Amino acid sequence: MAKTRATSGLDLHIERTGHRVRAGLETALREAIRDGRLQAGTQLPSTRALASDQGLARNTVSEAYDQLVAEGWLTARQGSGTFVADLDSVTPLRATSATAESLASIRFDLRPGQPDLTSFPRSAWLSATRSAMGAASDQQFGYGHLRGAQQLQNALAAYLGRARGVIAHPDQVIICNGFTSGLDLICDVLVHRGTTRFVIEALGHTLHHRLLARREMQIATIPVDGVGAVVSELPSADAVLLTPAHQHPLGGALHPARRRAVTTWANQEGAVIIEDDYDGEFRYDRKSVGALQSLAPDRVVYSGTASKSLVPGLRLGWLIPPNDMLEELIEAQRLTGRHASIVDQVALAHLIESGGYDRHIRRMRNIYRRRRDRLESILTERVPSARVRGVAAGLHAVVELPPGKTEDEVVATARERGLALTGLSETIAEAESPPPALVIGFGTPPSHSYTAALARLVAVLEHS
């Protein structure tokens, strides 16, 4: 066992074990990343320096680095060095339970909820940040307006009107820290107004259900099918949360007749519709589905984010409420003190105004379409009894399991093989019994590991 520190100015303490030199080095680095001693973004010593410090051949260190890059533990930046990858979404920093310990061995992640983080347009973002900072006034670096940076309000109002059909004046746009933060603000206002009855889709994001339950409101659910929420079953209520452009997780777009029906219901009830447009830009085999907000701007609170179009780490989202809710939401924003970074706001504004945002969306739409096609193709060929649906848009697909397989069995087997999966039952807000299925996030893995992740998925479905 060797205890060492690198000699290149980048100190690194690792403990190699076993007789296989390269395997011991790889294992030591994985363990250091798993338990948090090597955190995301940490630069590793050069291969020459670590080889000298460990008493190894340089090729041995280089091959170990290459293997860990291929597995997604490390990232290599040409001309800059080798860095620890961001694994927070896959690997806990500390293994504190049997479940956490098993997740620590995850190599591939096909869970839904985030885009390919390696696709973030770093160069375009840096350019936008430099341009925005050069043009920003000193006054913009103060506390700023509670609605957000005026430049971003202007850019978003124009972009959302053009790309999503949203009807909004720039002064109606409120910048927040993502959808969950925005939903929290909306709930503050609704509770203050006396709202007690809230409706959500029976299959959806369980975090949102927990957030609403914390408010001690009466929560009812409505079923969903291949064309969105079954709004004909809406009860009398004060508010409803919908994903009309791309139902999460089944993937259908809310049928035009249902769109008209839900706005009629809202007018009759005096209710508020909260529209979660979480990945509306990504569609493949259908025409773009515009925002529900355009049908009833006085009844719909439109919400969007940069979490899927760029990356969730920016913590940038936006709300466009009816005029009669605007000042209440601004006051709720004031009381929370949660405001998005002004630097990121003006950078996003410049990215949109320069056309860089549209170019990135078009490029990623093509990449994700190819990933979707690859998922369908390999499952049709290798596991034809696993039906794939909900893939006309978005970054995830629903895969119905072959007969005789259960979600728990498949998810557990996948975990043992280093693959993270999500069962459809994990998206159920209340007691429902859909067929056993997986929600596959085909947008999640980095490009270099997507093929391997699909191969692991096929192996699990064939043999579990």
Whether residue 90 has pLDDT greater than 50: no
Q: What is the CATH number of domain 358-463?
A: 3.90.1150.10
More confident residue, 74 or 91: 74
Indicate the pLDDT class of residue 314, thresholds 50, 70 and 90: very high
95 pLDDT higher than 50: no
Q: Looking at domain 2-88, which of 1.10.238.10, 1.10.10.10, 1.10.1240.10, 3.40.190.10 is its CATH number? A: 1.10.10.10
**Same topology for domains 2-88 and 358-463, yes or no?**
no
> What's the whole-model pTM score?
0.77
Supply the pLDDT for residue 6.
Answer: 41
* HEC string for the chain: CEEECCCCCCCCCEEECCCCHHHHHHHHHHHHHHCCCCCCCCECCCHHHHHHHHCCCHHHHHHHHHHHHHHCCEEEECCCEEEECCCCCCCCCCCCCHHHHHHCCCCEECCCCCCCHHHCCHHHHHHHHHHHHHHCCHHHHCCCCCCCCHHHHHHHHHHHHHHHCCCCCHHHCEEECCHHHHHHHHHHHHHHCCCCEEEEECECCHHHHHHHHHCCCEEEEECEECCEECHHHCCCCCEEEECCCCCCCCCCCCCHHHHHHHHHHHHHHCCEEEEECCCCCCECCCCCCCCHHHHCCCCEEEEEECCCCCCHHHCCEEEECCHHHHHHHHHHHHHHCCCCCHHHHHHHHHHHHCCHHHHHHHHHHHHHHHHHHHHHHHHHHHCCCCEEECCCECCCEEEECCCCCCHHHHHHHHHHCCEECCEHHHHECCCCCCCCEEEECCCCCCHHHHHHHHHHHHHHHHHC
Least confident of 11-15, 75-79, 154-158: 75-79
Average pLDDT score over residue span 272-276: 97
Q: pLDDT over 90 for what percent of the chain?
A: 60
Confidence of residue 456 (pLDDT cuts 50, 70, 90): very high
- pLDDT band with cut points at 50, 70 and 90 for residue 431: low
What is the pLDDT averaged over residues 410-417? Answer: 93
Name the pLDDT band for 36 (thresholds 50, 70, 90).
confident
Residue 275 has pLDDT above 50, yes or no: yes
Q: Which of 73-87, 137-151, 195-209: highest mean pLDDT? A: 195-209
78 band by pLDDT with thresholds 50, 70 and 90: low
Q: Span 56-73, mean pLDDT?
A: 82
Given this model, what pLDDT does residue 146 score?
A: 85
What ranges do the domains of the chain cover?
A: 2-88, 122-354, 358-463
**Topology, domain 122-354:** Aspartate Aminotransferase; domain 2 (3.40.640)
